[in-house]
Amino acid sequence: MNVITNAYDGQQWRIQRLDKALRIAQAILHFNDQQIEFMVKALHDDHGNLQVFWKYPPTERQKQAFRTAWDLCNGKSRAVMAYIDPQPAQDAEVMREWIATSLNALSTTDGGVF
């Protein structure tokens, strides 16, 4: 997956925790790798606080998925700070592909909400 994960101190266990949180949030959202990469540029652990760098403004559901994932990985609630990438991708074809993939994923789930 092409989502950047890094930590303020570079500790490997923090990077692994970020990777785990990313996978949990992805599962909560019923997103495949392409969909999560489309929305999220990077995750950063700043002294135990999760920072999510979004490519596009997230929905409340998307933000909550990362809060829940971080709580599950961290064992306690920590604020999720959301940042918007100032230069999101502008490729309309990528957007069309993402929508098609999302609709396909939705049709294969057990009536999950997208």
Query: Could you read off the pLDDT of 65-110 as tens digits, one per residue?
Result: 999 999 999 867 576 777 776 665 555 555 556 566 656 655 555 5
Does a structural domain hold residue 41? yes
Residue 26 in 3-state DSSP? helix
Of 102, 114, 4, 2, the closest CA to residue 53 belongs to 4
CATH number reported for the structural domain that contains residue 55 in this entry: 3.30.300
Domain count, the chain: 1
Q: Is the pLDDT of residue 113 over 60?
A: no
Domain range for 12 is 4-108
Does a structural domain hold residue 113? no
User: For position 90, what pLDDT does the model report?
Assistant: 52
Angle, helix 60-74 to helix 12-29, in steps of 10 degrees: 140
Does a structural domain hold residue 58? yes
Does a structural domain hold residue 114? no
User: For position 101, what pLDDT does the model report?
Assistant: 61
Query: Could you read off the pLDDT of 7-64 as tens digits, one per residue?
Result: 999 999 999 999 999 999 999 999 999 999 999 999 999 888 899 999 888 999 999 9
